[in-house]
């Protein structure tokens, strides 16, 4: 594997149809190290699923190179498949099979399956084992999806929007399971459009926009590129003095918002100033940039 990455994409392109067709993925490069949890973020249509399908070996790349566990996942799928688990954004089940029958069928196709019953337990579906799949809720189907993806004890796990459609409790459970798998050494590549999910789980993230990676790094690195915000009620507050680190300050809807690159210094100076003048800053609120800001900024700044 040359020690570079368990999952690698170099200059990956994917076009639908013949030349001149829609190019969903344009020059995407990244590497996921062994045991790492890497999240691909992006709005709908950003190219996440198109990228995943190439890495999963479901479709060939139009250009560039992909490697999973050192192999071409499309041409050498016999070598790759026994070691990966895939949870599609939308995969189906035969509707009249029960949960247990579905899992047993899948286990029968695997080289090194886990036992079915404990795996259903992992996703809290043990009590639904003899229920036909067509009677499951959307969230339960998603959990069955996850169970099948981990049933083969994969070294690498691809999860395409694993928690979409789950209620908050199930989402927490899924996160717990994903964290436990990662702790057990599984390399995980997931896509999501829930920023919290990336923040909760990922070691590193890449934000995709219109088929390209617009930003990537650890969450801390991404967030640091964007300003923190201080806000308070404008009522009864005189004009602000010069404060350190401030990018700009705006007043809208009776609230002042200060954007700053040095939250602590700005806030200290602001509070000292208010103290000296004896002003109360009503509804005071200060926070670091979140992934939301990075995400929104990227979605807005790239021209069409």
Partner 1 sequence: MTERDTAVRDSTVSGTGDDMGARDTGRNGRTAGVRRRITALARAELLLLLRNRLALGTALLLPIGSLFLFAPILEDLDIGMAARAYSLTGLAGFLLLYVVYYNLATAYVARREELVLKRLRTGECTDAEILAGTAVPAVAGALIQMAVAVPVGALLLDLPVPVNAPLMLLGMLGGLVVFWLLAAASSVFTRSTELAQLTTMPLVLICLFASGVVFPATQWPDPVPEIARFLPLTPVMELMRLGWVGTTGERAPVDFVGTLRPAGLPLAVLVAWIGVGVWTVRRFFRWEPRR
Binding site for partner 1 (CB under 8 A): 34, 56, 58, 69, 78, 81-83, 86, 88, 90-97, 101-102, 104-115, 118-119, 121-122, 148, 152-153, 155, 176-177, 180-181, 183-186
Chain-centroid distance of CA 165 in Å reads: 15
CB of 6 to partner 1, least distance (A): 10
Residue with smaller CB distance to partner 1, 39 or 150: 150
User: Cα(103)–Cα(110) distance, rounded to whole angstroms?
Assistant: 11
- Shortest CA distance to 176 belongs to which of 216, 229, 228, 122? 122
CB of 168 to partner 1, least distance (A): 17
Residue with smaller CB distance to partner 1, 56 or 293: 56
Any bridge partners for residue 224, and if so which? none
Residue with smaller CB distance to partner 1, 31 or 107: 107
CB of 151 to partner 1, least distance (A): 10
User: Cα(57)–Cα(174) distance, rounded to whole angstroms?
Assistant: 25
CB of 75 to partner 1, least distance (A): 13
Residue with smaller CB distance to partner 1, 149 or 208: 149
CB of 111 to partner 1, least distance (A): 6
Contacts of residue 113, Cβ cutoff 8 Å, sequence gap at least 6: 106, 107, 151, 152, 153
User: Cα(7)–Cα(34) distance, rounded to whole angstroms?
Assistant: 8
- Shortest CA distance to 102 belongs to which of 57, 147, 154, 66? 147
- Shortest CA distance to 28 belongs to which of 299, 294, 211? 211
Residue with smaller CB distance to partner 1, 115 or 218: 115
DSSP code at position 108: H
CB of 183 to partner 1, least distance (A): 7
Chain-centroid distance of CA 264 in Å reads: 29
Residue with smaller CB distance to partner 1, 16 or 283: 16
The tally of CA atoms less than 13 A away on the side-chain side of residue 117 is 0
């Amino acid at each position: 594997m040359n020690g570079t990455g368990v999952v690698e994409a170099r200059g990956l392109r994917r076009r639908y149809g013949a030349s001149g067709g829609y190019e969903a993925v344009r020059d995407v490069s990244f590497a996921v190290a062994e045991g790492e949890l890497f999240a691909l973020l992006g709005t709908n249509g950003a190219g996440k699923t198109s990228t995943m399908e190439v890495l999963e070996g479901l479709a060939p790349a139009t250009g560039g190179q992909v490697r999973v566990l050192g192999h071409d996942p499309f041409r050498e799928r016999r070598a790759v498949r026994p070691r990966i688990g895939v949870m599609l954004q939308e995969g189906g089940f035969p509707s009249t099979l029960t949960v247990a029958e579905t899992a047993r069928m899948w286990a029968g196709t695997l080289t090194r399956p886990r036992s079915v019953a404990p795996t259903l337990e992992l996703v809290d579906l043990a009590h639904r084992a003899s229920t036909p799949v067509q009677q499951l809720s959307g969230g339960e189907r998603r959990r069955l999806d996850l169970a099948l993806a981990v049933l083969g004890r994969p070294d690498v796990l691809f999860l395409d929007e694993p928690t979409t459609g789950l209620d908050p409790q199930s989402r927490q459970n899924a996160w717990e399971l994903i964290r436990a798998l990662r702790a057990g050494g599984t390399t995980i590549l997931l896509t999501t459009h829930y920023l919290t999910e990336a923040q909760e789980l990922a070691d590193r993230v890449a934000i995709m926009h219109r088929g390209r990676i617009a930003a990537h790094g650890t969450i801390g690195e991404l967030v640091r590129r964007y300003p923190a915000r201080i806000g308070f009620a404008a009522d009864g507050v005189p004009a602000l003095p010069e404060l350190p680190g401030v990018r700009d300050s705006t007043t809208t809807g009776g609230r002042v918002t200060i954007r700053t690159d040095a939250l602590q210094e700005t806030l200290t100076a602001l509070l000292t100033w208010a103290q000296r003048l004896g002003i109360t800053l009503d509804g005071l609120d200060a926070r670091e940039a979140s992934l939301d800001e990075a995400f929104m900024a990227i979605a807005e700044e790239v021209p069409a």
